[in-house]
């Protein structure tokens, strides 16, 4: 009996050691955004969102990441818990003649434009351009090829984007089912988590990158079947310049066609539209100062919108950032079409801490 107990104890310790070794390789990170907001003569203090991230480098060929967002102020029916990313990276440069990487699963689309991830967004709130074209998550395959030191090619095969509008800022109120004093971005990409389609979306970016400059040409194509609403073709350019003195410049432009869009008079049209934005900033040591202007135009069939974003961030600690940000929004006015200016300018103070 004693021998059995000793043997069971040894097996248990070995199993616990193996499990501990496995778990020790998984990194756990997280963050929280706390905001104090002044908007439309109202005041609000809120936890904007917090998230948990798990990641592991299994070896030089494989690594994975999952991340979940929680939005405390959102009702559970509209997405309080959000699966932000869940993907496997497969690095194949030791198996192929060039540096080739594949991402399998769900995550931000890095195959079109300047993806507004943590390091490249610069403002806490998404811009109009990002809401319309670059901030969604995709499910499928993203591939990244590096040729030499400077040439990059990214191609994705993903679920086609869902067509929907968005309202900014995201904390606007509703009365009688209508959004009050929010800026309406009528055509925006949205996540597509469904699994049954008779078509796919193809996204790609061809870029050149060195120590100062990163420029690219982009395309997205999803040919909808008859009666399906969605972006059919889209072409864009993007660029970022970072100088050693801290100066930063970003610019993006996209021309797009979206089919089967309902306009203000109720008719359905195939809509040509475009968007552009530019950002200038200075970042040095613990301080970042940024100004961004963006606009969206809809061929005079939907209301044009624009936004100016100003933000200052002080990184008082590597994992604690303090930010003051303002959004000045604008809309094209046309009384005959019911287009009016909304009182939707925003100022907020934000504290971010991460672990």
Q: For the chain, which residues make up each domain, given as ranges?
A: 2-354
The pLDDT value given to residue 196: 67
User: What is each CA distance from 187 to 3, 144, 297, in whole angstroms?
Assistant: 71, 28, 11
Average pLDDT over residues 45-69: 94
Report which of residues 311 and 195 the model is more confident about.
311
pLDDT of 2 strictly over 90: no
The CB-side HSE value for 11 (13 A sphere, CA atoms) comes to: 6
Average pLDDT taken over every residue of the chain: 86
Average pLDDT over residues 317-344: 89
If one looks up domain 2-354 in CATH, what number appears?
2.40.160.10
Residue range 292-307, pLDDT digits in tens: 999 999 999 999 999 9
Give one DSSP letter per residue of 206-257, joined into a string. Answer: EEEE-SSEEEEEEEEE--PPTT--EEEEEEEEEEEEE-TTSEEEEEEEEEEE
Range with the lowest mean pLDDT among 62-76, 280-294, 308-322? 62-76
Please choose, from the candidates 158, 172, 170, 168, the residue with its C-alpha nearest in 3D space to the C-alpha of residue 201.
158
The pLDDT value given to residue 177: 44
pLDDT of 268 strictly over 60: yes
Please choose, from the candidates 182, 188, 186, 180, the residue with its C-alpha nearest in 3D space to the C-alpha of residue 169.
182
Range with the lowest mean pLDDT among 47-56, 172-181, 186-195? 172-181
Average pLDDT over residues 325-350: 88
Average pLDDT over residues 122-130: 92
The pLDDT value given to residue 187: 86
Average pLDDT over residues 2-24: 51
- Name the pTM for this structure: 0.86
Q: How confident is residue 198, by pLDDT bands cut at 50, 70 and 90?
A: low
CA angle 251, 149, 203 (to 5 degrees): 50
User: What is each CA distance from 178 to 124, 174, 242, 312, in whole angstroms?
Assistant: 26, 5, 42, 33
pLDDT of 174 strictly over 80: no
Residue range 215-240, pLDDT digits in tens: 999 999 987 666 666 667 899 999 99
The pLDDT value given to residue 293: 97
pLDDT of 176 strictly over 90: no
Please choose, from the candidates 326, 298, 302, 324, the residue with its C-alpha nearest in 3D space to the C-alpha of residue 313.
324
pLDDT of 1 strictly over 70: no
Q: Which two tokens stand for residue 224?
A: 């909808």
Q: How confident is residue 182, by pLDDT bands cut at 50, 70 and 90?
A: low
């Amino acid at each position: 009996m004693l021998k059995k107990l000793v043997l069971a104890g040894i097996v248990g310790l070995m199993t616990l050691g193996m499990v501990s070794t496995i778990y020790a390789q998984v990194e756990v990170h997280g963050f929280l955004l706390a905001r104090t907001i002044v908007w439309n003569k109202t005041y609000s203090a809120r936890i904007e969102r917090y998230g948990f991230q798990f990641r592991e480098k299994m070896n030089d060929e494989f690594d994975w990441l999952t991340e979940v967002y929680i939005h405390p102020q959102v009702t559970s029916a509209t997405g309080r818990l959000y699966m932000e990313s869940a993907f496997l990276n497969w690095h194949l440069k030791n198996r192929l003649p060039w540096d080739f990487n594949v991402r399998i699963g769900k995550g931000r689309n890095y195959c079109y434009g300047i993806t507004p991830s943590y390091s490249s967004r610069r403002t806490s709130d998404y811009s109009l351009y990002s809401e319309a074209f670059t901030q969604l998550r995709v499910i499928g395959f993203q591939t990244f090829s590096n040729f030499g030191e400077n040439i990059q090619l990214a191609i994705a095969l993903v679920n086609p984007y869902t067509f929907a509008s968005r309202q900014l800022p995201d904390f606007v109120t509703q009365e009688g089912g209508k959004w009050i004093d929010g800026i309406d971005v009528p055509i925006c990409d949205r996540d597509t988590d469904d699994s049954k389609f008779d078509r796919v979306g193809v996204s790609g970016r061809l870029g050149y990158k060195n120590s100062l400059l990163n420029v690219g040409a982009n395309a997205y194509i999803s040919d909808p079947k008859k009666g399906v609403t969605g972006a059919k073709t889209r072409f864009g350019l993007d660029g970022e310049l970072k100088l050693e003195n801290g100066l930063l410049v970003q610019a993006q432009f996209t021309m797009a066609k979206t089919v089967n869009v309902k306009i203000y008079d109720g008719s359905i049209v195939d809509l040509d539209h475009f968007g552009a934005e530019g950002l200038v900033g200075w970042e040095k040591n613990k301080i970042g100062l940024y100004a961004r202007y963006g606009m969206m135009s809809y061929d005079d069939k939907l209301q044009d919108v624009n936004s100016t974003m100003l933000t200052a961030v002080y990184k008082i600690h590597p994992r604690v950032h303090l930010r003051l940000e303002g959004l000045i929004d604008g809309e094209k006015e046309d009384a005959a079409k019911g287009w009016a200016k909304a009182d939707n300018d925003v100022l907020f103070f934000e504290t971010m801490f991460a672990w």
